Structure 1
Amino acid sequence: MLGLPDHIRACLFDLDGVLTQTAKVHAAAWKETFDAFLRRRADRDGTAFVPFDAGEDYDDYVDGRPREDGVRTFLASRGVELPEGTPEDGPDSETVHGVGNRKNELVLRLIREQGVEPYEGSVAYLRAARDAGLRRAVVSSSANCHDVLVAAGIEDLLEERVDGITRREQGLRGKPAPDTYLAGARLLGVEPAEAAVFEDALAGVEAGHAGHFGVVVGVDRVGQSAELRRHGADLVVTDLAQLLEEQR
């Protein structure tokens, strides 16, 4: 059914890069945030400034992870460790939460300025899944998930939502741990083996693989098909419309 194994009863979709064209917005916000931080640090320490790579660094250390985990993971790759701080830290604070809050300010500004566009193939797939009687949830690391769904006009196509707010409230580990996807399956009343995970992030396909889901679909928007498979994708498509075309 819809390019999935016959026993699949539910679909769990990542948001940015799978349903909506916001991954590039997040990458731009991370680059602006990290470049400003790294430049200040280089000037202060008298060391060379090495900018954040919105391709490799984003994919390897940030994409799909909760915001604070992205800060920790990328800065650790540069040998930098910051104090945790608190969620109330200002965007200029040199803490994990402060850097994350600066990124969130920037991404919200970019979304307001640029709007949010869903992928047409993903919208078609969501409608086909609904019409076929498959349960549907979005599973995102973003605390802004609800606003993005509304802005993209696809909120009504999803039955449940697990996002960054859910993760904090329930104490769930973020991707690449499987916790948020497992929570999505519980909300839809299915076992992991009965659910398909749709992910474009390496951390996300790792999460789907670790949760022993029925199938993990890697969505390759940036030419990383081999990496998606290596991290746990069972099959890879460049757009969800490909899965519909297979049914014709």
Structure 2
Amino acid sequence: MPNPGFPQAVLFDHDGTLVDTEPLWDRAKQNLAAEHGRPWTTEDSLATLGRPVAATIARLQQVGVPLGEDELFRAVFEHCVRVLEGTELTFIDGIAKLLEDLAAAGIPAAIVTNASSAIGHRTASTAPENLFRVIIGTDEYAQGVRPKPDPDAYLTAARRLGVDPAGCVVVEDSPAGAAAGVAAGIPTVVVPGEMRVEPGPGMLHLGSHRELTLELLRSLDPQSPSSPFHALQETRP
């Protein structure tokens, strides 16, 4: 039976989970590489998908963009801002309803992304007021928070929301993100994304974002014997 006291917070990935911005990020990388006469291929896109910005910077250098790390860091986000300017971000089908239900139930949320926290703040501004109370992105990583697949970013989000990680749910769509949620000992729900996430302990796979409802999240309380995450209570770090 769903537990009305669970979850205490929901920790969302951003790209591909809340909004479909992956194609926009990819266009920004293509544009940056092209500015320096270098190609950016599908293989390059897959190699950096869902990974920290450091992976994108390393790949851009690998394909021959002649800039240092600091210059590339600035250039990547400058190009992302250009691509996003004038683009209306819309939530993936099914997500807007979930966010409304979370807000109505008084359940806070966080955005935890390997991309720019500025983009996370922009998305949060289109959600119900005061729902997203914590945004963690590359800015935080520069200050010592470790990026996915390390669990640190999700544990930091729970701490800043003032809730026990055991009372949270992570929503992800990438292998690195799902690994981070599981490593944090937080029940992790996986929605379809650009890359396949292999099934494993500590995660529940959904067939579409529309299946992600508040009722479903309430049924995942690890303390409930009927929850698919019940075993987490015995294995939580």
Alignment deviations for residues 20-73 of structure 1 (CA, whole Å, 9 cap, x no partner): 221211122123334555x54xxxxxxxx7x421xx5434x323333223322x
TM-score (norm 2): 0.75
Q: Which runs of 5+ in 2 are unaligned?
A: 217-237
Letter in 2 for 1:191: D
Q: Does 1:217 align with 2:216?
A: no
Residue 108 of structure 1: aligned partner: 81
Q: Distance in 1 between matches of 2:157 and 2:199?
A: 24
Aligned residue for 1:207, secondary structure, equals helix
Change in CA separation of 1:196 and 1:96 when aligned onto 2, cut-off 3 Å:
same
Partner of 2:99: 126
CA distance in 2, matches of 1:181, 1:93: 34
TM-superposed deviation, 1:181: 0.7
- AA at the equivalent of 1:145: I
- For 2:235, the equivalent position in structure 1 comes to none
Aligned to 2:212: 243
Residue of structure 1 in register with 2:135 after alignment: 161
Tell me the amino acid that sits aligned with residue 19 of structure 2: T
How many angstroms does 1:124 deviate by? Answer: 0.9
Structure-2 change in CA distance of 1:211 and 1:147 (3 Å): closer
Normalised TM-score (structure 1): 0.72
4+ long deviations beyond 3 Å = 4-8, 34-37, 150-156, 230-233
Counterpart-to-counterpart distance in 2, 1:232 and 1:139? 21
On the 8 A contact 1:65/1:175 being kept in 2, the answer is: yes
* Identical pairs, percent: 27
Q: Which residue of 2 aligns with 1:9?
A: 8
Q: CA deviation at 1:197?
A: 0.7
Q: 1:150 to 1:12 in 2, by over 3 A?
A: closer
More helix by share: 1
Give the letter for the 2:32 counterpart: T
Secondary structure, in 3 states, of the residue corresponding to 1:8? coil
1:225-236 equivalences in 2 (<5 Å) = 227-230=196-199, 234-236=203-205
- Partners of 1:233 and 1:71 in 2: CA distance: 31
Which of 175, 185, 189 is 1:202 aligned to? 175
- Correspondence list, 1:31-42, <5 A: 31-34=30-33, 39-40=37-38
Contact 2:113–2:120 (Cα < 8 Å) also in 1: no
Which amino acid is the alignment partner of residue 12 of structure 1? L
